[in-house]
Amino acid sequence: MIGQALRFGVVGGINTATYYGLYLLMREWIGYLPAHVVAFVLSTIGSFFLNTLFTYRVRPTLRRFLLFPLSTVANFVVTTAGVVLLIGYAGMDERAAPLVAAAVAIPVTFVVARGLLIGRSGGESRADQPL
């Protein structure tokens, strides 16, 4: 599990950079909250493929693809609330707040993603057809 946690950290870094780059590109045109949502969705799709293939070393299947967003629900809630609170109430800069909020959500996302992508048995089920 330590190897998975380290690989998850690498994927998380790539995912955060992707999210942050997209967020910065879009926030001037559509505002910080819509930019956060769109960047989050796009980076989550990339995160799915990186986590299945690299972190947990399982095949990306349609079933896993459909379940994976459940792992980001907690992440989305924590980061969205964090962005709103840090910018709206704490007066933090719109460029820095998403990074702080994302750091808080990482441990929860690892545990939930691991459970959804590899399950308790760690094996493939009959429902896991390749994507």
- Cβ neighbourhood burial of 126 (10 Å; 0-12, 13-18, 19+): exposed
pLDDT at res. 122: 53
Q: Out of 42-46, 47-51, 70-74, pick the least confident.
A: 70-74
- Helix spans in the chain (H): 2-30, 32-50, 62-84, 97-118
Residues in the chain: 131
Global pTM value = 0.67
Q: Are 73 and 79 in contact (CB under 8 A)?
A: no
> Scanning the structure block, which residue is given the tokens 């070393």?
57
Residue 69: Cβ within 10 Å count: 15
pLDDT at res. 130: 57
Average pLDDT over residues 95-116: 86
**Residue 128: pLDDT over 60:** no
Please state, in angstroms and rounded to a whole number, the distance separating the CA atoms of residues 97 and 28.
15
**Angle, to 10 degrees, between the axis of helix 62-84 and the axis of helix 32-50?**
150
